[in-house]
Amino acid sequence: MSDFKYMKTERKGSVGVVTFNRPQAMNALNEEVAIEVTDALMAFDADDSIGCMVLAGDDKAFCAGADLKWIASQDFESAYLTDLAAYMDKVAELRKPVIAAVRGFAFGGGTEIALMCDIIIADTTARFGLPEVTLGVIPGAGGPARLTRAVGKAKAMYYILTGKNIKAEEAERIGMISHVVADGQLMEEAMAVATVIASNPRLAVLAGKEAVNQQAETPLIPGLKLERRLFHGLFSTPDQKEGMAAFAEKRKPDFRQY
């Protein structure tokens, strides 16, 4: 559990804590980070002494989304052949509950991995968002599918097509997250909830999570597959190249007018 480059892992009683540890890039996702966060949570899921997990970031960012230098280099062939963004689906398949403790930025893949978790607790500094449309693609790690199930079609459509940020209070109001706490109380609250869950009968907790997911996600998989293929395909478009180049160069994108 101590061999990760971009993750910190810690046991606190029967709670396993996984913390993003790439502060120089605001915990942005690249292939290695995506694999490590998934593997760290899977390791706790397989540990009989752990009853619940907490996934956290640092003071500035939970996870600021995909690392642009990595994601902008993709094309359709590489995205499709490697099934880009699919590995993190394993987070949503864990049997034990996972609490996302969100402070600061949780954009793009950061919002998506939070939505894979079972409970999202945020403090007042948290900012969510799926801004991929401004880069010429769509969210490809479950954002459209899971956000729609969390907040409904109208709200999901608004945030995915505009790319606008979602403040913590708004995220709570629309049902995207479980609840908001004051600045400085995030980990205390997340650990308190995780400790209660971990102290409950293990089989009942696993069954409860399975029952809720069955109702919430059926039929999730067809939507995820369609979403991912659309995501992959957009890496073949000029707008994706221009959108990501403009972001890196800190200029306004000049998208193609069809």
Q: Which residues are catalytic?
A: 66, 109, 112, 132
Closest CA to 5 of 14, 111, 23: 23
Token pair of 85 as six digits: 């963004």
Q: How far apart are CA 47 and CA 39, in angstroms?
A: 12
Token pair of 254 as six digits: 């000049």
Return contacts of 178-184, CB within 8 angstroms, 24+ apart: 178/119, 178/120, 178/121, 179/121, 179/122, 180/121, 180/122, 180/123, 180/124, 180/126, 181/121, 181/122, 181/123, 181/124, 182/123, 182/124, 183/123, 183/124, 183/125, 184/123
Q: How far apart are CA 32 and CA 11, in angstroms?
A: 23
CA 147 to chain centre: 11
Half-sphere exposure of residue 173, counting CA atoms within 13 Å on the CB side? 6
Q: Are 208 and 32 in contact (CB under 8 A)?
A: no
Site of tokens 């969210």:
139
- Cis (ω within 30 of 0) for the bond into 253? no
Q: Write down the H helix ranges in 86-201.
A: 89-92, 109-116, 143-151, 153-162, 168-173, 186-199
CA 115 to chain centre: 5
